[in-house]
Chains A and B, each alone.
Chain A
Amino acid sequence: AQSVTQLGSHVSVSEGALVLLRCNYSSSVPPYLFWYVQYPNQGLQLLLKYTTGATLVKGINGFEAEFKKSETSFHLTKPSAHMSDAAEYFCAVSARNTGNQFYFGTGTSLTVIP
């Protein structure tokens, strides 16, 4: 079975500081991993995904994430936070054997302090 754990339901960073949002997964088979962002009163939007190949994945808005199999992690980072990055971030996992079902973490709310 697959599951996702996001450490830290709320993260605050200063504008210009490093953003690090943590995601650990559990999967019995090679996973597909996703990060989504949700701005207030909107649906979720894909930031980036890992399926196969290069383990460092670059996404939109300067975000990137690295798949580390040994640590079962897929942490999201951005070198310099911008005010517009304030949102809810969700990590998700799926796999070939899950019948196309996706498992989402409980989300991390990012606050950017001016």
Chain B
Amino acid sequence: GAGVSQSPSNKVTEKGKDVELRCDPISGHTALYWYRQSLGQGLEFLIYFQGNSAPDKSGLPSDRFSAERTGGSVSTLTIQRTQQEDSAVYLCASSPGTASYEQYFGPGTRLTVT
């Protein structure tokens, strides 16, 4: 079946602009995660959605970052007033929903802020 998809695959934006990154999870997966991967770094947790529960936003680095998940499916990560340090690959993953299940990752969106 279809895996996790993300769009766009690449995004170049000017400093100060807002960007939206989209994630389409695997159908039926109740959990959705966003991570940030900077060059040479591991995965930095950003935010986690589980069903209809309030999202876990504990990893968002600043109030310029926000995310929503509509209808328990598609998610959008928004970065306002982008800064050069926001340049990274943003990965989305979905999961059937419990801690024992693996996450299925999308290919990522490479964001470059100039």
Contacts and interface: CB of A to CB of B under 8 A. Distances in A.
Our verdict on whether A and B bind, yes or no, reads yes
Contact of B4 (A32, A43, A96): A43
A14 interface: no
Interface string B8-42: 00000000000000000000000101010000111
Given A43-B105, A43-B107, A90 B99 contact: no
Nearest to B41: A106
B50 interface: yes
A98 B102 contact: no
A43 B100 CA distance: 20
Interface string A83-114: 00000001000111011111111110000000
Contacts, number: 61
B97 A100 contact: yes
Task: Give the bracket for the number of chain B residues in contact with chain A.
Answer: 20 to 34
A101 B56 contact: yes
A45 interface: yes
Contacts of A103: 45
Interface of A: 9, 32, 34, 36, 41-46, 49, 51, 90, 94-96, 98-107
13 contacts: A9-B40, A42-B107, A43-B4, A43-B93, A43-B105, A43-B106, A100-B98, A101-B56, A103-B45, A104-B35, A104-B42, A107-B41, A107-B42
